[in-house]
């Protein structure tokens, strides 16, 4: 087993700064993989739920409700089913 890598503060900050870039790359790759495997993905685009096909064709499934503004530290709870 290899010993754990010890990072100094500058190296840790550099690694953390790459997280958004790596997340964006992972989402893009997952989308491409889904298109290759199933030929379609469902995604939110401009306030609408859209089915995008591998051919590039888009079909709007429905409009999404307005976003809920959230502040840091705010707690949201789900309503009980009716």
The count of domains in the chain is 1
pTM given for the model? 0.66
pLDDT recorded at residue 1: 79
pLDDT for residue 9: 92
**49 part of a folded domain:** yes
Inside any domain, residue 35: yes
Mean pLDDT of the region 43-48: 94
**Angle of helix 9-17 relative to helix 19-38, nearest 10 degrees?**
40
Q: What is the 3-state secondary structure (H, E, C) of the chain?
A: CCCCCCCCHHHHHHHHHCHHHHHHHHHHHHHHHHHHHHCEEEEEECCEEEEEECCCCEEEEEECCCCCCCCCCCCCCCCCCC
Range of the domain at 48: 10-63
Assess if residue 74 is contained within a domain. Answer: no
pLDDT at site 61: 97
Domain contains 34: yes
**The predicted structure's pLDDT at residue 6:** 85
Q: What is the mean pLDDT of the chain?
A: 92
């Amino acid at each position: 087993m290899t010993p754990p890598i010890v990072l100094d503060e500058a190296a840790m900050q550099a690694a953390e700064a790459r997280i958004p870039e790596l997340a964006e790359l992972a989402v893009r790759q997952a989308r491409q993989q889904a298109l290759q495997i199933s030929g379609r993905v469902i995604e939110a685009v401009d306030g609408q739920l859209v089915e995008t096909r591998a051919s590039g064709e888009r079909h709007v499934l429905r409009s999404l409700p307005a976003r809920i503004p959230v502040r840091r530290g705010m707690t949201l709870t789900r309503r009980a089913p009716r």
